[in-house]
Chains A and B, each alone.
Chain A
Amino acid sequence: DGGITQSPKYLFRKEGQNVTLSCEQNLNHDAMYWYRQDPGQGLRLIYYSQIVNDFQKGDIAEGYSVSREKKESFPLTVTSAQKNPTAFYLCASSWTSDSYEQYFGPGTRLTVT
């Protein structure tokens, strides 16, 4: 089955620790995206990548880092510099032509205490 997988579903970390969230897609999409969702707010774009080995900052990139070494993978690292890391993180992918329709993974809920 084609789709986007995110792991783990739930993640718990102590304050001050870096943590990496996984996102894999087998849709052969060129572009991948990371969003953050907080209660009562819409999704906000963290980083996006249009092609392997290239990525751009979104609206709230501070305290996050990404890599795009393979077309199917786009891991997100939440660093200790992120002041409020507890949130629901969603990964998405799309073609870079035609409709650009985005498809989303199931999400990872990160709790930092």
Chain B
Amino acid sequence: KQEVTQIPAALSVPEGENLVLNCSFTDSAIYNLQWFRQDPGKGLTSLLLIQSSQREQTSGRLNASLDKSSGRSTLYIAASQPGDSATYLCAGGHDAGGTSYGKLTFGQGTILTVHP
């Protein structure tokens, strides 16, 4: 059974700092790895998706990497801003074969606070 762990559980940084959020998974046979942002009381916003055949994806100040062999993904946020404060969730997609395709297993999230 896939298990996803996110470290740290919470992170507080000053504005402008570069930071890394970590995500590890136990089953390397994932189909994709998706990073989400969640603001308090809101739904999830997809940030980046990395296919199993890819090593990284970039969007603006965000860069996500995937290393299936070590069971790890990282989300790098450059030049952090107070508006980046939110909970960040990673989720591993199950292998696309059979009937389980599309299923995501989520980590518990990292609560990020960027203070001015």
Binding site for B on A (CB under 8 A): 4, 6, 31, 33, 35, 40-45, 48, 50, 56, 58, 88, 90, 92, 94, 96, 99-107, 109
Contacts and interface: CB of A to CB of B under 8 A. Distances in A.
Contact of B102 (A44, A50, A104): A50
A100 B45 contact: no
Contacts of A92: 44
24 contacts: A33-B104, A41-B108, A42-B108, A42-B109, A43-B104, A43-B106, A48-B103, A50-B99, A50-B102, A58-B103, A92-B44, A94-B102, A99-B32, A100-B101, A101-B46, A101-B49, A102-B46, A102-B91, A102-B102, A103-B46, A104-B44, A105-B43, A107-B41, A107-B42
B8 to A, nearest CB: 14
Interface of B: 4, 31-32, 34, 36, 41-46, 49, 51, 89, 91, 93, 96, 99, 101-104, 106-109
A45 B108 contact: no
A104 B45 contact: yes
Nearest to B1: A59
A42 B106 contact: yes
